[in-house]
Amino acid sequence: MPPQPSVVTKLKVQLKLAIARLRMVQQRDDSMGKTQRRAMAQLLEVGKIDSARIRVENIIRSDITTELHEILELYCELLIARAGLLEGSVCDPGLEEAVKSIIYAAPKTEIKELQVVRTLLAEKYGKEFVLAAMDNSDDKVSDKVVKKLSVTPPREELVQGYLEEIAKAYNVDWPKRLLADEPPDLLDDDDDDNPSGGIGVRIPEGPLGNSSKVAKEQEELSKATPPRTIGGPSSPLTVTPPRMTTDNVHPKVTLNSLELKPNKKMDAAAQKKPAGKGPGGNVPDITELERRFQALKR
C-alpha cells in the first residue's frame, strides 16, 4: 500500500489549484467589467447621471474583489516557493502573514480551493492558530486584505473618479465644463509636424570631379532613408501608465513630480497616415538602389 501524502504535499497541490482558479476568476471579472464600463459610458452620454452613480458601485466592488484575488494569488505563490518552511510544526515568521491572510480571507471568497487550503492549514497548525487568524488578534493579517474585505460604501470621491475615468476612456464629454488652460508642451518642441526621433541624417558630400549626374544620383540616394512610420515608434523608449485601481483612480506618468502628457504635435503625428505608394511612400525599391550603387562605383 503506497504511503499517504503529507499535509505539505496536499497543500502544494491545492495551492496550485487555487492559483489557477484565481486567475480564471480575474479574467472573467475583467471581461464583465469592460461590458459594465461601456454601459456606464452610455448612461453618462444620455445624461442619466444618478443611475450611473448607483451602478458604478458594482464596478468598484468588482475591482476591489479582483485586487483581493491578486493579493491572495501572490500569497499562494509565496507558500509554494517556500514550501520547505511549512514542514515545521510552528508557522515560520516569514510565512505567518501569508498563512493568516489566506485563513482570514478564504471563507469570505468564492474560491473553494482556498477553503480547502484553509482546512489543511488548520490541520497543520491547530485550532488555536486558526482562531487567532480569524479574529486577527495579533494583527498579522495583511491590512490590504482586511481593507478589501470590509463592507463599506465607496467614497464619493472614488465614485466621481471612476465616472470621470470611464467617460475619458470612451470619449464622453462628461462632466461638461470649459477646458482649462493647457499645460505647456513638455515634449517635442520642434517646429516640424512629426515627433523627432533624435537621430539626424548627414548627407555626404560628393567627391570632386564627378559629373552632375552622378552627384545628383548620390544626393537622391543619401535622402532615401526609411520613413519613421516603418519599424514601430521613432523613440526607443515607451512609457505605459499604471493601471487604474481603487487606490489610484487617476494614474499618471510623472517626472520629478511633474506630469508628462503628449502634446498636440505628437497626437497629430500619431494619427497621421503615411502618404504615397505603399507603406514606404517614395522610397525607391531594391533594384533602383542597386542601380544607383553601380553608378556610384563607376
Report how far apart, in Å, the C-alpha atoms of 122 and of each of 11, 127, 168 are.
Answer: 11, 6, 48
One-letter amino acid of 87: E
Which pLDDT tens digit goes with each residue over 12-25? 999 999 999 999 99
pLDDT in tens, 37-64: 999 999 999 999 999 999 999 999 999 9
In the prediction, which pLDDT does 298 show? 63
pLDDT of residue 279: 45
Length of the chain (residues): 298
DSSP 237-272: ---PPPPP-SS-SS---EETTEE----HHHHHHHHP
Give the span between the Cα atoms of 140 and 132, in whole angstroms.
9
CA dist 39 and 226 (Å) reads: 44
- The single residue listed with the C-alpha cell 503529507 is 6
C-alpha cell at 20: 489557477
Task: Indicate whether 207 pLDDT > 90.
Answer: no
Q: Is the pLDDT of residue 110 over 70?
A: yes
pLDDT of 276 over the 50 cut: no
CATH number of this structure's domain 7-168, picked from the four choices 2.40.30.60, 1.20.120.10, 1.10.1740.10, 1.20.1260.60: 1.20.1260.60
- The amino acid present at 95, given as its one-letter code, is L
In the DSSP assignment, the letter for residue 210 is -
pLDDT beyond 80 at 219: no
Structure confidence by residue, pLDDT tens digits, 117-142: 999 999 999 999 999 999 999 999 99
pLDDT of 80: 97
Burial environment of residue 62 by CB neighbours within 10 A (0 to 12, 13 to 18, 19 or more): middle
Q: What is the pLDDT of residue 17?
A: 98
Mean per-residue pLDDT, 80-102: 95
The domains of the chain are located at 7-168, 212-297
Hey, what's the cell of 197? 526621433
- 272 pLDDT more than 80: no
Residue 110: DSSP 8-state = S
